Chain A
Amino acid sequence: MILYIIRRLLSIAVTFFVVSIIVFLMMHAVPGGPFDGNDMPVSEAVRAKLMAKLGLDQPLWVQYLKYMSGVLVLDFGVPYQAPGETVLSLLANAWPPSLLLGGLGVLIGAPLGILLGMAAALRRNTWIDYLASGVATLGLTVPVFVISMLLILVFAVGLNWLPASGWGKPERWILPIATYAAIPLATYARYTRSAMLDTLNRPFVTALRAKGLSERRIIFQHVLRNSAIPMVTVFLPMFIGTATGSIFVEAMFRVPGLGSYFVSSIENRDYPLEMALILMVTVAFCLAYLLSDIAYAWLNPRIRFGEQKR
């Protein structure tokens, strides 16, 4: 197991460097530079001086090595769009709103999805099963900005119950949280339903029934525990995906979170910020997958990673 984790960590390190090289090259291959924008035109001389100061006149591989040696000690540089700050402080300020809304969305959506999936599996082929499948398909296929748009149209424009966008007061958080909750809800409804159905068909359930256990005990103590494994393993990657903020949800609801920086860093050729964002998200996903694989092995002793070869 330890050996397996070490192997995985090494492979994550390799992935990290491959991604960093590809992203760095792609980023610099995009035509234009950070000071070509029209909102703040600078003269040729000033621009040359700025480029020299930021080291952008050096060969690419020098720039890459310089940046990455900073990253290794967690120094992600200074964002061009806010020279007074560091990338880290900028992200530290922008992340809490995304974490709050996205995190709450997952924490609300996942349990609801599990309940819905359970109900669907236990009452198979009834209206609740069809409702669950409907919700699951809708949540997984309709893009989030369409979901946000529908929620705004119904609750803000149509019924006028809630504010359409903004930040600050908690009632402004309801619609974005509902949007974020849609994907975990749909995912969990689907997974729970199929996992529960799989488990319910196994012989040990029949054996438990034959022994005279109450249906409630069978469901909660045996079936649910045995079908919990896939539910645990999808949680972390999904949490990372949602809690880093969605570009669309934050744009639709005007949330001052991480999302807008994904777009603006690419648009403004803000290289340090762009690298930092992509590298952090990549590492977060890699670690989330690793942790959920470990959790999987821990919950399911039949899996042993050391002997996985062949």
Chain B
Amino acid sequence: MSTELNLETELAVPPAARQRSPLYFAWRRFLANKAAVVGGAVLLVLILAAIFAPLFTKTAPDAQAFLTQSLAFPSAEFWFGVDDLGRDFFTRIVYGARVSLTIGFAAAAFSVLIGIPLGALAGYFGGKTDWIIMRIIELFSVVPSLLAAMLLGALTGGGFVTIIVIAALFGWVNVCLLVRAQVKSFREKEFVRAAQALGASPWYIIRRHLVPNSISPIIVGFVLAIPLAMMLEASLSFLGIGVAPPTASWGQMINVGMNFMFFYWHMAVFPTAALAITVLATTLFGDGLRDALDPTLKGR
């Protein structure tokens, strides 16, 4: 922007109206989306509950402290009742949030770590590189992810880290596609051309210019990868090949609750509701973020 033009605009509008950054408008759009704000607030509460779980729960999550009151219904003392092995169910649900959120965020982080370089490479170089990466993505889209995850789970014996790796293995595809599209559209812009003319290496251009310019799809890809990973964890734990039993996992609790639901409804209702609310809140937050950061994508 030339200085002349700046002067003109300053004369035209009163000095009170500052120039707003795009981020400000994104924030305004986000706040206008009620569902997304509620989703974000619920997610925040869940994160805080997961972090500060030991402060407001009475026992460790796997302490069988109430064996004599096994399967007790919800009451003032046990908010969500007691489970079949004499553990306070509220405690287990809260610690379940820890498992779910840790796996969700860690898997999303790894998805982004795999997806950004591959997406940037495919988008920047095109041609053969793009072809190879797109074939790999195609492979991941035709093999049912749950089946492959089950096989991988059996291969490695399940467990916390394995699930994060599996979820990242299937989560990077979306991030990669988003970054690829963005990089592709920026590749021919003048500032990239200028950098190339000045002799910048492809690696430098990608790191310095293209990835920072793809920050909004990356954020969107990150947030939307979280619920997918949480769902995968719950599904695997539900099938008994996820997080190992003493650790509290909602998927596992739903599986156990299924056997008790006709007589002890609380065993099924609370983990089901917890999982549904968490996944829903995260998705609404992510959708809102996407609409706010990139209004052209709205409703897709």
Contact = CB atoms under 8 A, between A and B. Distances in A.
A binds B: yes
Interface of A: 11, 15, 18-19, 23, 26-27, 29-30, 137-138, 140-143, 145-146, 149-150, 152-153, 157, 164, 193-194, 197, 241, 247-248, 251-252, 262-263, 266-267, 274, 277-278, 281-282, 285-286, 289
Nearest to B136: A18
B280 A146 contact: no
B147 A141 contact: no
Given A149-B268, A247-B146, 17 more contacts: A15-B142, A19-B143, A137-B287, A143-B234, A145-B235, A149-B261, A150-B272, A152-B261, A153-B265, A153-B268, A153-B269, A194-B300, A252-B258, A262-B150, A266-B151, A278-B147, A289-B142
B280 A137 contact: yes
Nearest to B257: A149
B215 interface: no
Given A142-B276, A142-B280, A153-B269, A285 B142 contact: yes
Given A149-B254, A153-B265, A30 B154 contact: yes
A286 B88 CA distance: 48
A29 B299 contact: no
Contacts of B231: 141, 143
B238 A26 contact: no
A23 B299 contact: no
A263 B151 contact: no
A266 B150 contact: yes
Contact of B239 (A27, A194, A247, A277): A247
A197 B257 CA distance: 43
Contacts of B143: 19, 278, 282
Contacts of A262: 147, 150
Contacts of B268: 149, 153
B107 interface: no
A11 B138 CA distance: 10
Contacts of B257: 149
A197 B299 contact: yes
A138 B299 contact: no
Interface string B139-157: 1011110110011101100
Contact of B284 (A137, A241, A263, A277): A137
Interface of B: 135, 138-139, 141-144, 146-147, 150-152, 154-155, 227, 231, 234-235, 238-239, 254, 257-258, 261-262, 265, 268-269, 272, 275-276, 279-280, 283-284, 287, 299-300
A266 B154 contact: yes
A194 B299 contact: yes
B43 to A, nearest CB: 13
A152 to B, nearest CB: 7
Nearest to A29: B155
B220 to A, nearest CB: 16
B177 to A, nearest CB: 16
Contact of B144 (A149, A274, A281): A281
Contacts of A19: 139, 142-143
8 contacts: A18-B139, A19-B139, A149-B257, A149-B268, A149-B272, A153-B272, A266-B150, A274-B151
Contact of A26 (B135, B146, B155, B239): B155
B63 to A, nearest CB: 27
B283 A141 contact: yes
Contact of A142 (B147, B155, B258, B279): B279
A146 B230 CA distance: 13
A18 B254 CA distance: 36
Contact of A149 (B147, B150, B227, B258): B258
Contacts of A247: 146, 239
A-B CB proximity, top 5 nearest = A141-B283, A285-B142, A194-B299, A30-B155, A149-B272
Nearest to B157: A31
Contacts of B238: 145, 248
A15 B139 contact: yes
Nearest to B269: A153
A150 B268 CA distance: 9
B265 A146 contact: no
